Every structure is written in structure tokens, then in C-alpha cells.
Amino acid sequence: MNDYLIKALGYNGQVRAYSAATTETVSEAQRKHYTWPTASAALGRTMTAALMLGAMLKDDEKLTVRIEGGGPLGAILVDANAKGEVRGFVTQPQTHLDLNEQGKLDVSGAVGKCGMLTVTKDIGMRDYFTGQVPLVSGEIGEDFTYYLAKSEQVPSSVAVGVLVNPDNTIQASGGFIIQMLPGATEETISTVEEHLKQIAPVSQMIRDGLTPEEILRKVFGQDDFQILERIPVRFTCKCSKERFSSALISLGKKEIEEIIATEGQAEAQCHFCNETYHFSREELEELKDQARDC
């Protein structure tokens, strides 16, 4: 099944929902960064949540999620947009801890609990919108639930999960966001809350072959919901040698001359996708000619 997410309305427009299957997308991130299981789970959960937040945007709008909890994993940084494109990395990709007391990957221990979750949105205006909340658990899903309630004032339930195989590959990844809209009745809220208590973990449902639509049927407890949109999702990085060339040019002539004198060449690596770009002495000389004196 190719990765995708859906937007939907349920209970006669009282509930808004997003549901995503992200196994291949997270697998691509795992391969690019060689993440170990706990790091894979933390990064995959964050990427999945960011994709669903991105689906709330429009057109060319995009967002960046940063999680810093003080744990051994370091920072998690993820970019996503309204088109289902996402990229991300963790500071220490080879992070893996013993299983927690529930026998699951100890994401909270790796992320840490003493820190912040920050979401910065670029909606095409001069200033960016930034929302920030303290981490409540480091488990990612609970932290995004708190973010939506406190920063965006939308009562929500966020579930994200990643299952990792013994060989470090990704077995299943996905998530959902359920949001109560103004006018939702107490009966609807109670019904959805009861279903959320009873359903299996989202990663298990993905592993068992459930589609995003079937996951929402489990959440809603009924087939009567309206799908508004289906969006393919994928790991996408728009880095290029041209972009790194521009960055080198911006350093100025003196800095490039120093690189030529000391190294004779240069390499630049994208943090998001690990792609490495090599610049020969001749290429650096050409960039120096385009740079400013200062």
C-alpha cells in the first residue's frame, strides 16, 4: 500500500479527522539516516504528526516541527507541507534504549521530557506563526495533543506509532488526529472517547493491513463519515548542489579563498536527507568569482 493520508468529517460535521499510513515514508527516512529502533520510532512519529498538521495548511504553506526534550536522542527536526511532502532528522540517529516497562520502544526516554515542542508555520506572510508548548511525556502523540489544545485551542486526540523490525527496517507506521469542532454534542464526544479507549494501537492496525479509511471506521465506530481529500505522502528533500552553491557564494570571497587555501575542495551535506555534494577547487574558484568582496 502506497502511503497516503485522508481528511474527513464525521458525526454530521461535528468531528474532523486525519488518518495516515506512513510506513514507506518513515522507511525512507530510516534508510537515509541509518536510524536505530528507538530513534526510528521517535522520528517516524514526529514525521507522521507533522504530515497531518501539514494537511491542515493550504497551497504552498509549510511548517517546521522541532522537539528538544533533553534526552540522548537530541533534537528532532521535521519539515512538512500541505502537499504531503515531509523530511526530517534526529541529532543522534544511532540511539536505542532498552524496552520500557510496557515492553515497547522507550521513545520518551530517548526524547526526554524536559523541553519544548515548537511548530513554526510559513503561511506566505512576512512573519511566521510559531506555537510552543512544554513536552508532557516525550511520547510524541501526547505532546502533539497538548500542543493542539493549548497553542491552537482545538480539543484533539493525536495517535502516532511506529513498529520496527529486528533488522531495523520499518514494519508499520501511521497515525490519526481527531478534533472536536464547535457544536459537537456531549453524546458525540463521549462516543468518540469510548471508541478511542477500545481500539488497538495505530501501528498495530497499520501492521494488520488497515487503511486510513478503515482506521477511521474503528475510531468513529461507524461507516458514516465524509472523506474530503486523499493526499499521497512521501519523504521529499529539495536540497540541491545549486542551493549549496548559493550558500557558499553568500560566505564571500575571503571565506571561499580560505577554503581553497586550506582544503582545496569542499563538501556539503544535507542534514535532512544525508546527500553529500562535492565542490572541486575549480568549482570553488568559479563560486569565488561570483561572491562579494565583503
In tens, the pLDDT along 144-154 reads 999 999 999 99
- List, for residues 9-39, the tens digit of each pLDDT value: 999 999 999 999 999 999 999 999 999 999 9
pLDDT band at 224 (very low <50, low <70, confident <90, very high): confident
The model carries a pTM of: 0.92
CATH class of 241-290: alpha beta
Give the residue ranges of DSSP H helices in 101-211.
107-111, 141-150, 186-198, 202-207
Answer whether 105's CB lies under 8 Å from 139's CB. no
CATH fold of the domain at 4-235: Hsp33 domain (3.55.30)
Is the torsion defined by CA of 21, 200, 54, 74 positive or negative?
negative
Cα gap 200→194, rounded to integer Å:
13
The domain segmentation of the chain, as residue ranges, is 4-235, 241-290
